[in-house]
Amino acid sequence: MTTEVRSLREFKMPDVGEGLTEAEILTWYVKAGDEVTDGQIVCEVETAKAAVELPIPFNGRVEQIFFPAGTTVDVGTAIISVAVGEGAAPAEAPVAAAPAAEEAVPERREVLVGYGPRTGGTQRRARRTTVVAPANSVEVPAPSYYAPPQPAPAPVAVAADVPATAERPLAKPPVRKLAKDLGIDLRAVVPTGPGGVVTREDVHAAAAAALAPAPAEVLAPAPAEAAWAAEALAQAVPAGRGDVRVPIKGVRKATAQAMVASAFTAPHVTEFVQVDVTRTMKLVRRLKESGDLGAGVRVSPLLLVAKALLTAVRRHPEVNAAWDEAAQEIVVKGQVNLGIAAATPRGLIVPNIKDAGSQTMPQLAVSLGELIDTARQGKTSPADMQGGTITITNVGVFGVDTGTPILNPGEAAILAFGAVRELPWVHKGKVVPRQVTTLALSFDHRLVDGELGSKVLADVAAVLEHPKRLLTWG
């Protein structure tokens, strides 16, 4: 009696077409012995620019996973082998690489989710359910495929407001880790993702609800941004004593390299100005209450700062430029791609709004909201982080007055927006409490001289002090 033997095929770490040479494996969604189908997501990886999910390009059974989660792998290196073919060989039968069987498998281009077409739908793993113990115990999560078995934790009390459920909440492993780091019980989180999946934003919202309110004199950060700060603090402070070594890879590694290159290539100059933004803050409140920018559109002080900077750039287009070292020329950009520095659990990224200078206030509000939501969910694509021409970093959400920001490589200027505080201020000849912020503009002195930098910063301040100038200057 003959038995059909499957042939082995290897799936290699693909290249996203952005010149990247390596990626870190964040999570495996399959293990040896699992059956996989063409287009099924088998793992999530993080490149220097974004986190993406990898679909397997053929059907078969997983034979071997070559690298555990947390490993950085070069592009082109095999990361998983799959036995392909119609029939399954017995466990003791040798696996042979039969050329005929190999040729029978159609070839397809290996692409990343979001980076090209693929045939076949994404297959989710079967939903695993767990039986929840009585109210005086907690669910013990299944260990990872590569982690040694861990002893069950001692029973602890479960909060009365966490409903008992017979099913484990649906969430991807990175979201589960985020919830664990923030001390959030996923069973208490209201899911908003497709099919009842808990998203990063859901976890951040749950964490924000538990945070204590910020001091009255400081403009409170947005809930998700406050959650990011809490998560970063939890990750930075070790539970015990002693040194902790944190590998630098992925987004953090790319950011570090870019900042070093920028700091030691472009001669930085930073100027500061304090601004009475009381009128701007009143305008933000009116726009929120009126809904004039559209139903469901997020309105924040950052929106007005962005519009003020775009107005200043329109009045002084030479600041929207780049340095061409090879040609020894200054390239004044034809459109403004406004970058927004975003602190995410995986590190600092700077996605940008394409052609932001041509957008109206409602359009800019929508674009800004989409950019922030995408960054929070970890779905920012490499294309969204390329081509920026000028950047805003909102350090005020962390209660910081201002700083000396380092230029995003290839750009001529970056604006830091500090915390809005109630301070004594001379207004109409009297000392009264006003809402005040500090702006800082760093610029490349090869492209922007002191006069131009000062005019740009002064214009931003003028618009925020009297937002009616958006009508007369815009």
Mean pLDDT of the 384-403 span? 93
Token pair of 44 as six digits = 């999530």
Each residue of 91-143: pLDDT tens digit? Answer: 333 333 434 333 333 344 333 333 333 334 444 444 333 333 333 333 333 33
What is the per-residue pLDDT for 345?
72
User: At the fourth CATH level, which superfamily is domain 251-473?
Assistant: Chloramphenicol acetyltransferase-like domain (3.30.559.10)
User: Helix (H, G, I), strand (E, B), or coil: what is residue 448?
Assistant: coil
Residue 161 clears pLDDT 50, i.e. is over it? no
Q: Structure tokens of 30? A: 């399959």
The helix/strand/coil state of 24 is strand
Most confident residue range from 219-228, 231-240, 444-453: 444-453
Residue 10: strand pairing partners: 81
Is the pLDDT score of 11 beyond 50?
yes
Q: How far is CA 400 from CA 195, 437, 473, in A?
A: 39, 10, 30
CA separation for the pair 228, 181 (Å, rounded)? 11
pTM (two decimals)? 0.55
Residues in CB range of 466: below 8 A, 6 or more apart: 279
Compute the distance between CA of residue 254 and CA of residue 47 in angstroms, rounded to an integer. Answer: 9
Q: Do domains 7-104 and 251-473 have the same CATH topology?
A: no
* Cα 332-337-342 angle, rounded to 5 deg: 130
CB burial of 132-146 (b: ≥16 within 10 Å; e: otherwise) equals beeeeebbeeeeeee
Asked whether the predicted pLDDT for residue 148 surpasses 60, the reply is no
> Sheet containing 22-28: which strands, arranged edge to edge?
51-55, 41-46, 22-28, 72-74
For the ranges 212-226, 277-291, 377-391, the maximum mean pLDDT occurs at: 277-291
Q: Taking residues 323-332, what's their average pLDDT?
A: 89
Please, are residues 320 and 388 in contact by the beta-carbon 8 Å criterion?
no
Q: Residue 443 above 90 pLDDT?
A: yes
The pLDDT of residue 35 = 93
φ/ψ of 173, rounded to 5, equals -50, -45
Dist CA 232 CA 94 (whole Å): 49
Contact at 8 Å (CB) between 126 and 48?
no
Phi, psi for 430 (deg, rounded to 5): -125, 150
* pLDDT attached to residue 294: 85
Q: Where are the domains of the chain?
A: 7-104, 129-215, 251-473
Q: Reply yes or no on whether the pLDDT at 90 is more than 60.
A: no
Q: Which of 268, 316, 427, 445 is catalytic?
A: 445
CATH 3.60.150.10 assigned to domain 129-215? The reply is: no
Q: Is 34 exposed, middle or buried (0-12, 13-18, 19+ CB in 10 A)?
A: middle
The CA distance from 202 to 336, in Å, is 32
Active site residue 445: yes
36, 56 contact by CB (below 8 A): yes
pLDDT averaged over every residue in the chain: 77
Contact 416, 403 (CB under 8 A): yes
Question: What is the CATH topology of the domain spanning 7-104?
Answer: OB fold (Dihydrolipoamide Acetyltransferase, E2P) (2.40.50)
Query: What are the start-end ranges of the H helices in 129-277?
Result: 173-182, 200-210, 223-236, 250-263
Average pLDDT over residues 292-310: 93
Which of residues 421 and 163 earns the better pLDDT score?
Answer: 421
pLDDT higher at 298 or 167? 298
